[in-house]
Structure 1
Amino acid sequence: MYSGCIDIGGTFTDLVLHDRERGLEIFKSPTTPGEFEKGFINVLGVAADSRGLSLRDFLGRMDLLVHGTTVSTNALVEGKVAAAGLICNAGHPDILTLRESPRKRAFNVKIDFPAPFIARSRTCEVKGRIDAMGNEIEPLKTADVVAAVKHLKKCRVQAIAVCLLWSIVNPAHERKVREIIAKEWPEIPVTLSHELNPIPREYRRTISTAINAALFPIVSAYTGKLTAALKQEGFKNELLIANCVGGMMPPDEIIRRPIYSVMSGPTLAPIAGMHLTTDENVIVVDMGGTTFDVSALRSRRLVVTSEATFGMEMLGIPKIDVRSVGAGGGSIAWVDPGGLLHVGPQSASARPGPACYGLGGTEPTVTDANVVLGIIDPDYYLGGKIRLDRAKAEAAIGKIAKRLKLSLKEAAYAIYTTSNHNMIAAIEDITINEGIDPRDSYVVSGGGATACHIGEMARLMGIKRFMVPKFAAGLSAFGGLISDVRWEEAGTHHTTGRDFDLAKVNALLAELTKRGKAFLKRARFPAEKQRFEFAFQGRYLYQSWDIEVPFEMSGGKLQKSDIATLVAAFHQMHERIYTIKDEADTVEFTTWKVRAIGDTGGAQRTGSRLSTQSGRARPKSEREIFLGRAGELRVPVYAGEALMAGATVAGPAIVEQPTTTLLLLDGQVATTNASGDFLVEAAPV
C-alpha cells in the first residue's frame, strides 16, 4: 500500500510517496496552470510508471493521499475571486474600507489606499443590534434582510458573507439572517462570522468572512473536479486537503471553510522541519519555482500569526507564520531605467518557464543564471529526465549582460547574488525584525533550487549549520505526508488574571473540545487516535494587541491552581517575543482555542536507513563553475545517491541529486546522515 502527498508549485508538481517496501521517493511533473488537476493526475502517473502499474491499479493501492493546494492563494493574489456580497449592521458598511491600522508599512506614503475587498455596491446594511454583553437592544429587521438578498441577487453574487456586531457572544441575529437567506435564495452559499472566526476584532472577523465567501465557489469547484478525476481513475479512499494551521482536513470541511486552504502548501514545510531535526529553534526555507518561503520553529513549536496578509489585506484568521517573496528559480531578472538589477517578483512560472526549458520562454531567470554559472548541469536536470538548453540560457542572460556592460558569467553571478539577497531579506524579516538572531537557529533548506544558494546565504548571514534534506525538493509534500489531521476551534470570553472566571472558561473549553471531537468523528478518527492542544490569546491591561500562548490542561478542565500558571506562561511568552515582561501588570485573556488532532500515523512514514560509508567519498566528475570574485573554479561533482551514512564532502564542491543540486563553498563540509540528509557545517570565515 502507498501513501502520498502532492504539493503544486509554481513550476513543478511534487509527489512524495511512501512505499512500505521501498520507503520514501519523490516524483515531479510540470505544473499545469489553469488546470491544476491535470498536473496532479500526471505526477501520479509518473509514480505509477515507476512501479510498472497502470494509474488505476496504482491508485487502487493508495490508502492515503494528501494535497497542498495553491488554488485559493492564486485566486487572492491575482484578484480572481468570486463576487461576494456582505450583510452587516446598519451604520457599519465601511468596515472593509476603513480597515485596521497596520503596524507594518504604516508610514509608507507611496501606497495608494486600496479598494475594499467587497465593493460598497455589494454591501447591504440591516437594522438590529446586539450589545457587547450579548443583549438584544434592537430586534433584527427581517424586511432589511429580504431587501438585501433581492439586491445581491441583482448583483449576481456567488456567495454571501454575514458579519454582525457582537455575534461572537450572541449569534442569534446572524443565524436568523441565514434562515431568511435560505428561504429567499436557497442555493447561495452563506458564511457566518461567528462560526468561521469568533474573535472580537471587527475588521479581522469581517475580512476573513468576506474572503471565505469569495473563495467558496472557487475551492468548491476545484475540489469537486479533483475528487471526481481521482474517482474516475480508480482512487477509492478519501483525499485530504492541507490547511494553513499545519494539518489536513477532509474535502467537505475545506469546502465549508476554504479560507483555511490559503497558503496551505508552504505551511507544511515547518512540519517537515520539526520532523527532520531535534533543534529547539529552526529556520525553514523553501525556494520553489515562483516564491521563496520562510518559516520558523521556536522552542520546537510552530509559530502561529493572526496578522497574515496578502497584498494590502489581512487574512484575519490564525495561520502558521510563513513569509514569502518572489524569489524562485523561475524569477525573472530585469534592469530598471536607472540601471539597477532586480530579480522578481515576476516569474516565468511553469509556462513558458525559464529560457533553458526550451518551452518558449525568453526572459532571463535564476535557473538560467545557475546553468550559465555551471552550478546546474543541463544534462542532469531531474536526473537527466529533462535536458536544459544552455544556449537559450546564455541568450537570455546575454540581455542583462549587454544592459549592465558585464561579461555573460558576471551578469549571471549578479543575478545569482541579487536573488540571494532577496531571500536573505525574507529570512531577516522573520528573525532579526522579530528580535531573533538567525545565527542562533538551525536552518533546514528545502525546495529544488535552494541548495544552489544556501551556501552563500549562510556565509553572508554568519549561519554555521544548515541541513539539505534528501527530499529537499519536496519538503512541503513531505511535511504533508507526515502531518496529522488538524482543526482549530476558537471562542471568546474576556477575563483577567485578577478575577479569572474559571467556570465560564471551563464551559467554553468544554464546548470547543466537543466541537473538535465532532470534527474528528466526521473525519473518522477513533478516540485512541485523537488528541487536543490548548491555547489562549492574551495581553496586558489596555494593550491593543494579543499574543498567543499554548497551555496544558489535564483532567479536561482548568483548576484554580492553574490560573497562576497561565499568567506566568503569558509573561514568559511576552518576554520571548518583545524581550520585556511586567509581572506586576494585569493579564487579560480574550480568546480561547482548542486544536483537534487526528493521528494519521505519519511518524511511521520514514525512508530507508542508509548503510555506513566505506572509505572516502569519491567524485563522479569535475565541473567548471564561476563564483564572482573567486573566478573560475574547477570543482569535484559527487553523486548524492551514491553517498552513504557518514560520508563527508568538503567544499568547494557540488553534490548532485536527481531533484536538487547542493553547492558547497570553501570551508563548508557536508556529512550524510542515516536518512540521506546532508548536514552542513561551516568553518568561521
Structure 2
Amino acid sequence: MSPMEKIQIGVDVGGTFTDVVVQELNTGRMVLAKSFSTPDDPMRGIDDAIQRALAELRGDQRDVIAVRHGTTIATNAALERRGAKTALLTTKGFRDVLYVGRQTRPSLYNLRMRHPDPLVPRHLTFEVDERLAWNGVIERAVDRSEVEAIAERLKVEGIETIAISFLHAYENGENERAAKAVLEECLPGVPISLSSEICPQLGEFERTSTTAMNAFVTPPISAYVAAVQRDIEKFDDGCRLHIMQSNGGAMGPRIASSKSAHTLLSGPAGGLIGAYWFSKAFDLPNIITIDVGGTSADVGVISRGEVQSTREGKIAGLPIRIPLLDIHTVGAGGGSIAWIDPGGALKVGPKSAGSVPGPLCYGRGGTQATVTDANVSLGYIGPEAVLGGHARIDAQAAKDGVEALARKLCLSGPEGAAGILEIANTVMMRAIRVLTVERGLDPKDFVLLAFGGAGPLHAPALAKALSIDTIVVPPFAGVLSAVGMLAADVRHDFTRSQLVRTSDVTTEAITADFDSLTAEALDLMRVEGFDVGKVEMRPSVEMRYAGQAYEISIPVDIEDISRDPAVRLPELLAEAHRQRYGFAFNDEPAELVQIAVTASAQIHDFNLPKLPRRKESAAKRFRKAWFDGADVSTEIIEHETLSPGRTVSGPAIIEARDATLIVPPGAVGHMNEFGVFTIRLP
C-alpha cells in the first residue's frame, strides 16, 4: 500500500460476530475481518477486527479518515429492557396513553394475550396542566412552578432520562420546549426527548411510544457513541464517525446521541443498503434479501429498483413511528438453539447461543445443538473450517451434540440435523412470504440475494421452496452489512402532519410547507458538514381516502403538484392505490395526511475493484455432504481460488473466509469479474 492512501472502515456489531471491512478509497481494495462480539466491552471485539484488517491491508491507522458504524446496542436495550430509568411528562388527562394504546391485537382469538408493558411505568408518568388546540394554538401555557415540582420528584426517583409528549405537539412544540427548559435548569445533564422533535406526527399513542423509546435508549447509545469517538482518536485527526440509521442512511455522532431511536435497526439496514448498491450496479431491480447471521435472519425486498420502506414498526412489541427500511427479522440464525418442547416436537430458536458460549462447534463452552452445528454435522461446513478467518471449529462436538438430540426423537444424527435445518428454513421462508406473497408480490419474479455468514448455506433450500431459480451471492457476503455501511449516504427525514382534504389544499400552502421542511433539512445537512449544492432532496406525501386508517407514501415533484394540488394529489393517490391494491376509490374524497422531505448526501465514493486472475489448484478436494436424504461426494472449492469467468457445477461447496456457499446437485454457479457468484437452480 502506498503512503498516504486514505482508508474508510465499516463496522457492524452483531450478537455473535463483529464484522469489519477496511477499504482503500483510491483503489477500492477491501479487506475483511471478523471477531467474536464482546458484549461486556464491545470496543474490544471492534479493535481486534480493525487491527487485523489494517495489518492485512498493510494500512496505517493514521490514514483512516472515515468510520461507519452499525450497532445493536439500542435494539438489545429495548429487547432486554436494559435502557435507562425513564420518566414521561404528558398533558393532564393523558397519563395512561401508553397503557390504553390501540385496540388492535396481534392474536385476535388468544384470550390470554397481553400487550408488553410500556417502557415507562405509570408511577413515573407525570401530568402537566397545559393544553394545545388541535391546530397548535396554545390554550394553556406551561406553569414553571408545576414543572419544578415534578423535577424534584424526578430527583428523588433517580431518573436518568426524560420523555415529553404533549397533546398536539406535532403542530406546535412551544409548550414542550418550555417544559424542557425548566427541567434542564433543575436536572442538568439529564437527556430530554421531545415528541415534537423525535416524532412530529399525528397519532398520540405512537408518538408518545416513540418518544419514550428514544429516551429509554439515549443514555446507552450516548455512552457507546462516546466510547467509539474516543477509540477513533488514534486515526487521522479529521476522521469522521457516522452511525447507521434504521432508514438506511448514516448520521453524525451528535445527532445519533439525541435521536437514538433511529439506530434501532442500524445493523440490518446496512445489509439491505449493500444489497441496494448491488441492485443498481448489476441491474437487478427485483431482489429478495436473506441475511442469516449468528442470532437471527433478516429479510428485505427491493422491488422495481427501490428498497421497500415504512414509517412505522415495532421493537419488542412496542410501536415506533420513524422511517425504517422494511426488514422482517426472525430468530433463526446460526446460533439458534434446537430443542424439544413438552409435546415432543423439535423446535429451533428463537433463543440463541450467541457468541458466548456459542454453538457446540465453537468450543467456547456451548452445551446445546444449534443450526450451525447441524450444518457442520451434514458436511456443509467442513471440519477444517476457520470461523471468521482465525478461530477453528470443533466438528466432532457438533456431531455429538446433534446426535444426542436426535436420539431423543428416535432419529439418526443426519436425520436430526436435517430436521433442524428444515425447521429453520421454514421460519425464514415464512418471513420472506410476509414481505412478498402477503403484499401481492410473487417470489418467482425475484432473485434471492444471500448474505451473512450463513445466508448462502440456506439460500438453495429457500429458493427451491419459493420457486426462485436464481441465487446471487455478493463478494464479502459474510460482512455485507459492514460493506453496505460504506455505500450508505448521510440521510435525514423530515415530516409535517397535515390531515386536510386534498380539495382544500392550495398552491400557496403546500409550497410554503415544503419550503419550510426543505430549509430545516438543509440546516441539518450543514451541521453534518455538507455544502447545500451536494445535498439531494426527495419530497413525498402520505395520503389516504377518507375513512381509511392507513396511508400510502408517494414520491412527488413539488413543481408538478403545486400547479393544481386539489386535482393532482387525488390523481397520484389513485395511481398509487391501484398499483398496490389493484383498484382505486375514484369517487371518495382524498386526504393529505403528511408531507415529507428526505435529504441525503454522499460521504465518499464506493466502488468494487475487479478481481485479478487467480491461480487455481489442479488437485480437487471432496467430502461427503447431505443432499436429498443421502451422503453425496461433493467437491470443495476455496473461494480465493475462483477466477472471473469460472463455472462450478453442483454438487459443490465453496468455502470463503466469511461465508460458505452451496451449489446443490443439478445447479450451476458462475463467478463474474467483480466476484459476484450467481447460482442457477435446475
Q: TM-score range by the shorter chain?
A: over 0.9
**Corresponding position of 1:517:** 522
Is 2:562 aligned against 1:575? no
**Corresponding position of 2:32:** 26
Matches of 2:638 and 2:365, distance apart in 1: 31
Shift of 1:235: 6.2
1:118 to 99, 120, 145: 120
Matches of 2:388 and 2:245, distance apart in 1: 32
Contact 2:278 2:284 in 1 (8 A): no
SS at match of 1:140: coil
Task: Flag the 1:559–1:350 CA change in 2: closer, same or farther, 3 A.
Answer: same
Matches of 2:77 and 2:497, distance apart in 1: 30
Structure 2 residue runs of 5 or longer lacking an equivalent are 1-5
Task: Flag the 1:567–1:144 CA change in 2: closer, same or farther, 3 A.
Answer: same
Contact 2:380 2:625 in 1 (8 A): yes
Task: Flag the 1:341–1:547 CA change in 2: closer, same or farther, 3 A.
Answer: same
Structure-to-structure mapping, 1:9-408, within 5 angstroms: 9-19=14-24, 20-21=26-27, 23-52=29-58, 58-102=60-104, 104-232=106-234, 236-277=238-279, 278-382=283-387, 385-408=390-413
Identity of aligned pairs, percent? 30
Task: Flag the 1:152–1:420 CA change in 2: closer, same or farther, 3 A.
Answer: same
Task: Flag the 1:361–1:233 CA change in 2: closer, same or farther, 3 A.
Answer: farther
Cα distance per residue 1:355-380 (max 9 Å; x no partner): 11111112101111111111101213
**Corresponding position of 1:622:** 622
Question: What one-letter code is carried by the residue in structure 2 that aligns with 1:151?
Answer: R
Structure-to-structure mapping, 1:487-526, within 5 angstroms: 487-526=492-531
Question: What one-letter code is carried by the residue in structure 2 that aligns with 1:40?
Answer: I
Matches of 2:387 and 2:65, distance apart in 1: 27
Shift of 1:265: 0.9
Matches of 1:383 and 1:271, distance apart in 2: 22
**Corresponding position of 1:651:** 650
Contact 2:472 2:679 in 1 (8 A): yes
Task: Flag the 1:281–1:34 CA change in 2: closer, same or farther, 3 A.
Answer: same
**Corresponding position of 1:527:** 532
Contact 2:639 2:656 in 1 (8 A): yes
Matches of 1:384 and 1:133, distance apart in 2: 59
Task: Flag the 1:619–1:210 CA change in 2: closer, same or farther, 3 A.
Answer: farther
**Corresponding position of 1:608:** 609
**Corresponding position of 2:3:** none
Which region of structure 1 is more displaced relative to structure 2, 202-211 or 593-602? 593-602
Contact 2:504 2:566 in 1 (8 A): no
Matches of 1:350 and 1:542, distance apart in 2: 49
Matches of 1:269 and 1:290, distance apart in 2: 15
Name the TM-score, length of structure 2 as normaliser. Answer: 0.95
Contact 1:289 1:349 in 2 (8 A): yes
SS at match of 2:87: strand
Shift of 1:22: 6.1
Number of corresponding residues = 673
Contact 2:561 2:568 in 1 (8 A): no
Contact 2:225 2:253 in 1 (8 A): yes
Contact 1:6 1:14 in 2 (8 A): yes
Shift of 1:612: 7.4
Shift of 1:583: 2.6
Matches of 1:216 and 1:658, distance apart in 2: 36
Matches of 1:292 and 1:568, distance apart in 2: 39
Contact 2:246 2:269 in 1 (8 A): yes
Which region of structure 1 is more displaced relative to structure 2, 15-24 or 656-665? 15-24
Matches of 2:111 and 2:32, distance apart in 1: 46
Shift of 1:579: 3.1
Shift of 1:236: 4.5
Contact 2:247 2:325 in 1 (8 A): yes
**Corresponding position of 1:673:** 672
Which region of structure 1 is more displaced relative to structure 2, 132-141 or 221-230? 132-141
Question: What one-letter code is carried by the residue in structure 2 that aligns with 1:571?
Answer: A
SS at match of 1:498: helix
Cα distance per residue 1:372-400 (max 9 Å; x no partner): 11110121324763221112112211221
Task: Flag the 1:567–1:476 CA change in 2: closer, same or farther, 3 A.
Answer: farther
Matches of 1:229 and 1:441, distance apart in 2: 42
Contact 1:204 1:315 in 2 (8 A): yes
Contact 2:510 2:562 in 1 (8 A): no
Matches of 1:656 and 1:526, distance apart in 2: 45
Is 2:450 aligned against 1:445? yes
C-alpha RMSD of matched pairs (Å): 2.0
Name the TM-score, length of structure 1 as normaliser. Answer: 0.94
Question: What one-letter code is carried by the residue in structure 2 that aligns with 1:25?
Answer: V
Matches of 1:393 and 1:290, distance apart in 2: 17
SS at match of 1:511: helix
Shift of 1:15: 1.1
